[in-house]
């Protein structure tokens, strides 16, 4: 997995490229999320367009990120989830927990 991290004005955008599943890729993703919170970013934007696969541990990390962000009066938003991610999120009944946006700019505009 490759991960691009952009931080600006309390918002951290994570662009996930590749599978998000148990192992090193998930550890890297979780560390980036924690780093964002530690740096004072309370809004997370997760661009999942290039994430073809997610497993239950990946889902758990994303849900935990949402919970942490909400506790900090922030939020976690999804951008262009892959078809597999959308199907999986709906199957485990968490799709409606997130704001879902077509572009990163729309997600950023919805923060705050």
Domain ranges of the chain: 2-109
Measured from the Cβ of residue 27, the count of other Cβ atoms closer than 10 Å reads: 11
Q: 46-61, pLDDT tens digit by residue?
A: 999 999 999 999 999 9
pTM exceeds cut of 0.85 = yes
Cα torsion angle, 52, 58, 60, 62, sign: negative
Please name every residue paired with 50 in a beta bridge, in sequence order, or none if there are none.
17
Strand partners, 79: 47, 101
Q: CATH assignment of 2-109, given 3.30.750.24, 3.40.50.620, 3.40.50.2300, 3.40.50.720? A: 3.30.750.24
Beta strand pairing call for 43-50 and 75-79: parallel
What is the C-alpha separation between 40 and 22, in angstroms, rounded?
Answer: 27
What confidence category does residue 64 fall into, taking pLDDT thresholds of 50, 70 and 90?
very high
User: Residue 112 pLDDT > 90, yes or no?
Assistant: no
């Amino acid at each position: 997995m490759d991960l691009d991290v952009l931080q600006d004005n309390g918002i951290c955008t994570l662009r996930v490229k590749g599978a998000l599943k148990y192992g090193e890729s998930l550890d890297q993703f979780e560390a980036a999320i924690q780093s964002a919170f530690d740096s004072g970013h309370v809004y997370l934007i997760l661009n999942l367009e290039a994430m073809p696969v997610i497993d239950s541990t990946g889902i758990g990390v994303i849900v935990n990120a949402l919970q942490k962000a909400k506790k900090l009066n922030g939020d976690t938003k999804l951008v262009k989830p892959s078809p597999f991610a959308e199907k999986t999120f709906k199957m485990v009944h968490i799709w409606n927990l997130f704001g879902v946006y077509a572009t990163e700019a729309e997600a950023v505009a919805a923060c705050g």
